[in-house]
């Protein structure tokens, strides 16, 4: 399901790459009657799983296109699948190497502080395999860094008896655009052997290292370890 992670765009790109058809005639619809017995299509693995399934569906479609042309395929349906069945079940202790997730990406983030100890610049280098859509890739990382900086420095969701004390976003401390530092996104493209065209995908990886990188930058700045979030002082 498309939740803003760009999976629909990636599916269209993959389809057009495989078939040579123009993207203007392609639309993506979620068909709930064909729900797969698996987890949701979150960003880290959506590129690999959906992309490979689209490639599989295009195999028969391409053959028919060559014989019948596009007009001759009206009303036909083509199905594709990509099954990942080589991960370990939780708690497995058979002594074999453990594979817990289909797709792994890697990241390094460097946070630069100014003379007052404020975050001035963030360098975010991420290995997402083949970057299929540079604009979506950069937007995903920039948005994740924004979320991570808020988590690290400004956001504080106070609970009282298990409920949020405030239900207004403006009181949660979400970092405003004017307070954002410069974010430099660097794509490190190490191809994945299973991903479509070598892609791995990119999701929460942009969020995970941000707070630790800020904490280490502050430690370098004043020698003091912060062990709770947000790090407001």
Domain regions of the chain by residue span: 7-73, 106-222
* Paired tokens of 79: 């199905």
Which stretches of the chain drop beneath a pLDDT of 50? none
Question: How far separated are the first and last CA of the chain, in Å rounded?
Answer: 40
Q: What is the pLDDT of residues 152-175, one digit of tens each?
A: 999 988 899 999 988 888 888 999
CATH architecture of 106-222: 2-Layer Sandwich (3.30)
Phi and psi (nearest 5°) for 121? -155, 145
The predicted structure's pLDDT at residue 29: 86
pLDDT of residue 170: 84
- Provide the pLDDT for residue 34: 67
């Amino acid at each position: 399901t498309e939740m803003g992670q760009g999976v629909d765009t990636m599916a269209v790109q993959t389809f057009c790459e495989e078939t040579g058809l123009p993207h203007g005639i392609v639309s993506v619809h979620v068909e709930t009657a064909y729900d797969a017995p698996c987890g949701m299509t979150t960003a880290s693995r959506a590129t690999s799983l959906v992309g490979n399934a689209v490639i599989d569906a295009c195999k028969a479609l391409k053959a028919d296109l060559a014989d019948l042309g596009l007009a001759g395929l009206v009303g036909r349906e083509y199905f594709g699948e990509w099954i990942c069945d080589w991960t370990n079940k939780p708690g497995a202790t058979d002594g074999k190497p453990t594979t817990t997730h289909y797709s792994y990406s890697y990241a390094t983030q460097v946070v630069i502080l100014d003379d007052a100890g404020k975050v001035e610049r963030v360098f975010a280098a991420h290995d997402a395999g083949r970057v299929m859509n540079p604009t979506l890739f950069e937007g995903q990382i920039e948005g994740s860094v924004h979320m991570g900086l808020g988590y690290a420095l400004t956001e504080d969701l106070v609970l009282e008896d298990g409920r949020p004390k405030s239900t207004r976003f403006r009181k949660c401390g979400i970092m405003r655009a004017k307070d954002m530092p410069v974010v430099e996104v660097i794509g490190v493209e190490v191809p994945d052997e299973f991903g479509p065209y070598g892609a791995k995908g990119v999701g929460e990886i942009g969020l995970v290292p941000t707070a630790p990188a800020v904490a280490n930058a502050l430690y370098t700045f004043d020698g003091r370890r912060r062990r709770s979030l947000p790090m407001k002082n």
